[in-house]
Every structure is written in C-alpha cells, then in structure tokens.
Structure 1
Amino acid sequence: MESKIEVISTLKIQLSPDLYKVVDVLNRTLKEKDLMFGLALDKEDQNKAVFSIYRT
C-alpha cells in the first residue's frame, strides 16, 4: 500500500524558539483529519523557517 503525501501549502516565517510547539500541537490535534505539519530551517536564511502543510 502506497502512502501519498501532498503538499498543500508552504510559508517562510521568522524563526521563533517556540515555533516547534505550534507544529507539534497541530500534528497531534489534526492527524485524524489526514493533515501533517512540518517545520524546517530555511537553507538561504538561517533566521527563517519553512512551515509546510501536507495532506496524507
């Protein structure tokens, strides 16, 4: 069985120390809705983060 992950949206935002907590609570709360959230450091600007929303 294949798992297909679709990127719904991405956004570059200012990096914040507690940003990972927001992503964590979104993942815990909305996993039953087949949504997944990700956070990565922007490769071009270390002061920015890339926030992504996926449909699983």
Structure 2
Amino acid sequence: MGEESREQGKLELIAFKSFSSNDELVYIIDFLNKSLKDKKIMFGLTKDKENQQMTINIYEF
C-alpha cells in the first residue's frame, strides 16, 4: 500500500508473528497500543483456538 492508502486512514500490515497461546499477550498489546499511538503504529492480536496459537500483527497508519 502506498502513501495514498495511509492518507485515507487505512492500516498497512508491516509485520506479524505467531506464538503459542498465552492470555497475557492481551495486556502487552494494550500497553504497546497506548504507548506507541503517537508513532502511528498499531498492534493487533488474533487467537486460533483450534491450533492454540496467537498472532501479533503490527500495522502502520
């Protein structure tokens, strides 16, 4: 995605990583989002219950 997409308020996925499921990751993601909001970075977290995996996504907006 180019500069035009960012101007429209869209998120650009810049990295992701999967880990074994750990409920504490929710608190880490919340902390990172609050701390780095002014840097135009946002973190997301998805959980795959079937495989017991969690994926952290890093976005730029």
TM-score by length of 2: 0.81
Give the C-alpha shift of residue 42 in structure 1. Answer: 2.4
Give the C-alpha shift of residue 44 in structure 1. Answer: 5.4
Asked if 1:21 is matched to 2:14, the reply is: no
Q: Deviations over 1:1-56 (max 9, x none)?
A: 721210010111111121100000000000000000000012751x1001100001
Asked if 1:48 is matched to 2:53, the reply is: yes
Given the alignment, which residue of 16, 31, 42 partners 2:37? 31
Structure 1 segments, 4+ long, off by >6 Å, are none
Larger radius of gyration: 2
The CA distance in 1 between the partners of 2:16 and 2:49, in whole Å, is 14
Q: Which runs of 5+ in 2 are unaligned?
A: 1-6
TM-score by length of 1: 0.87
Aligned length: 55
